[in-house]
Structure 1
Amino acid sequence: MPIASAIRRLFGLSSRGRVPSDPSGLEGSCGDPQHRARPKAVGKLHKAASVGDTVKVEQRLMLRKSGVNDRDKKHRTALHFACVYGHPEVVTLLVEKKCDIDAHDRENSTALIKAVQYHQEECATILLEQGANPNVSDASGNTALHYAVYYENSSIVAKLLSHHADTEAKNKDDLTPNLLAVRENKQQVAELLIKKKENTHALDEPGRYSCSFIKIRL
């Protein structure tokens, strides 16, 4: 099987390059909000989170009409929905209400993974700064870093690396983010991963830093 086809299969992509299933149960094109349908048959808290209604989210939690970690049939929490649809205010509120920041849905995806898949950098940043684990893997063994590399989102890759994302984490096809970057010719993110690895080696072996630096400059 060609590498490109294998990668598409690995990431749940169709031949048209669609992203994995979103929390509405429908597929969107590259995480574009215009291609997302609003969630159906989910709780009121989830709906409020998906449209960014911070007031309603807070009211339901204060009146105890909903629990901050309530799940729908696919085990998704309000935090998953807020991250997919890009509502950082709701994300902040849910975190302040002590939600399970690393809650898994049925596909073992965390809210951080969903934020990365849908290019919601502000939401991803909030989660990372509040202690979300960047090294949780989903049902395919992919971490948030795998997805950031695949979509060549250099900014999110850099933030994940600054929060100790594991560059050697292997998915079910034994692909690390490093190998994925090389195979998919993601040059910008590949350079970030290489620098991260060299800096790590420099900390472990101080004498190697200057050599690595000179090599890069040449």
Structure 2
Amino acid sequence: MDGSVSNVEICDFAYKGEFDKVKECILKDKTLAFKTDQDHRTALHWACSAGHADIVHFLLDLGVEVNLQDDANWTPLHIAASAGREDIVRSLISKGAQLNSVNQNGCTALHYAASKDRYEIALMLLENGADPNVMDKLQATPLHRASTKGNCRLIQLLLKQSASTNIQDSEGNTPLHLACDEERVEAAKLLVEHGASIYIENKEEKTPLQISRGSLGTILRRIVEG
């Protein structure tokens, strides 16, 4: 190595998991740890993406900015949560990662954990102060995300952490509307058991009951009627 490594190359080494190269380059030129590529991502963003915990720990110990946003406002925490990198999420949180930082879509790391069924990561985020009711640009909460996908353990976790069942997104849909529309029967039952209304109308003036198909409407009505 001659030391003449570019910002793009150091990011590439980090993504490929070439720890020895990353370490050697940065120990020769510490500024490389803080340089960004054309996507405004640092080596830390790329190591989080690919799940290289050794590189992540090395960079964090050097004092790399943990909350730096890329050109789409994704932080390393967004990336690690979305990619399902539990150990890395834990490390980022311990170094002061902002849990409620939002990207261009208004999403937090918890939105991605909820939609991708990353239970352990969602639990970590919530236990450390992530907001369960934060809304993205479409006014969808993590509970909307989990309900659309029918991620029942995630739904239970969010409800336990005071997620609101009846928040409406930009289309007027509650999480229950979305669960019913996608025929997520267990998710819909869970929501109604925790106070989700079957009578709230969305912008098309439809209630969750009206968009329920098959026997789902009957099941939900029975839960409400006790």
CA distance in 2 between counterparts of 1:134 and 1:190 reads 18
1:103 match:
101
CA distance in 1 between counterparts of 2:119 and 2:145 reads 13
2:46 match:
47
1:125 match:
123
2:171 match:
173
1:184 to 173, 182, 185: 182
TM-score of the pair, normalised by structure 2: 0.67
TM-score of the pair, normalised by structure 1: 0.70
Shift in alpha-carbon separation, 1:166–1:214, aligned structure 2, 3 A: closer
Amino acid at match of 2:172: D
CA distance in 2 between counterparts of 1:153 and 1:115 reads 10
Matches of residues 53-202 of structure 1 in structure 2 within 5 Å?
53-64=52-63, 66-197=64-195
**Stretches of 4+ aligned residues off by more than 3 angstroms:** 212-216
Q: Deviations over 1:132-151 (max 9, x none)?
A: 11111111111111111100
CA distance in 2 between counterparts of 1:143 and 1:96 reads 25
Shift in alpha-carbon separation, 1:183–1:96, aligned structure 2, 3 A: same
CA distance in 2 between counterparts of 1:140 and 1:214 reads 29
Greater shift, 185-194 or 146-155, is seen at 185-194
- Percent identical: 31
Secondary structure at the counterpart of residue 195 of structure 2: helix
Deviation at 1:55, TM superposition (A): 2.3
CA distance in 2 between counterparts of 1:177 and 1:47 reads 33
Greater shift, 181-190 or 122-131, is seen at 181-190
CA distance in 2 between counterparts of 1:138 and 1:215 reads 33
Deviation at 1:43, TM superposition (A): 1.6
Secondary structure at the counterpart of residue 197 of structure 1: coil
CA distance in 2 between counterparts of 1:151 and 1:52 reads 24
Deviation at 1:92, TM superposition (A): 0.6
CA contact (8 A) 2:134 2:141 kept: yes
Greater shift, 113-122 or 43-52, is seen at 113-122
CA contact (8 A) 2:66 2:76 kept: yes
Bigger Rg, structure 1 or 2? 2
Amino acid at match of 1:169: I
Deviation at 1:213, TM superposition (A): 8.4
Deviation at 1:190, TM superposition (A): 1.1
Deviation at 1:215, TM superposition (A): 5.4
Shift in alpha-carbon separation, 1:155–1:214, aligned structure 2, 3 A: closer
Deviation at 1:118, TM superposition (A): 2.0
Greater shift, 104-113 or 116-125, is seen at 116-125
CA contact (8 A) 2:146 2:155 kept: yes
CA distance in 1 between counterparts of 2:179 and 2:50 reads 34
CA distance in 2 between counterparts of 1:214 and 1:161 reads 18
CA distance in 2 between counterparts of 1:124 and 1:50 reads 17
CA contact (8 A) 2:115 2:151 kept: no
